[in-house]
Amino acid sequence: MKIGIGYDVHKLVRNRDLIVGGVKIEHEKGLLGHSDADVLTHAIMDSILGALSLGDIGKQFPDTSPEFKDANSINLLKKVYESMYDKGYIIGNIDAVIVAQRPKMAPYIIDMRKVISDTLNTSIENINIKATTTEELGFEGRKEGISSHSVCLLIKK
């Protein structure tokens, strides 16, 4: 078994789509990044790469590369899945949290779990996604950005 942790932050700005966990969320702002800035999927990728000792998403998918400009992060997660599978591992489980003052993530969480579990070729029961505010404290609380944390357990095939 292997355990990994991931953390990511992106800034909220106008004139960008808000994509979290592969799901488009209706909101007046979106996250800024080289890719689609899907902060949850990035944290999940970093947790898997961490478990595999493969560094992080910046190493695997450099933000200086035009190849990853406006990339759909679910396509990057699929590449991470393939690396994991090639190294002989499958997902045990993932537990992740989205830290956002708003919008409300709860209505979208079942769709996020479906997209992530389909991409990682595992049961939806193995993917838990939570959301919390910070009670208006810090950058998430001021609605300047959204962060996400993820922990994963990988098991040998």
Ligand X SMILES: Nc1ccn([C@@H]2O[C@H](COP(=O)(O)O)[C@@H](O)[C@H]2O)c(=O)n1
Q: Which residues are annotated as a binding site?
A: 8-10, 34-35, 42, 56-58, 100-106, 132-135, 139, 142
Task: Give the Cβ contact number of residue 155 at 10 Å.
Answer: 12
CA gap 127, 94 in Å, rounded: 5
The 45-84 site mask, x for binding ligand CDI (CB under 6 A), equals ------------xx--xxx----x--x-------------
- Binding-site residue set for a divalent metal cation: 8, 10, 42
The tokens of 38 are what?
């899907």
Residues 44/96, Cβ–Cβ less than 8 Å: yes
Total binding residues toward ligand X, as defined by CB under 6 A: 8
For residues 131 and 98, give the distance between their C-alpha atoms in angstroms, rounded to a whole number: 5
Residue 58 contacts which entry, ligand CDI, ligand X, none (Cβ below 5-8 A, type-dependent): ligand CDI
| Binding-site partner at residue 46 among ligand X, ligand CDI, none, CB < 5 to 8 Å by type | none
- 3-state secondary structure (DSSP) of residue 107: helix
Residues that bind ligand X (CB under 6 A): 100, 102, 104-106, 131-133
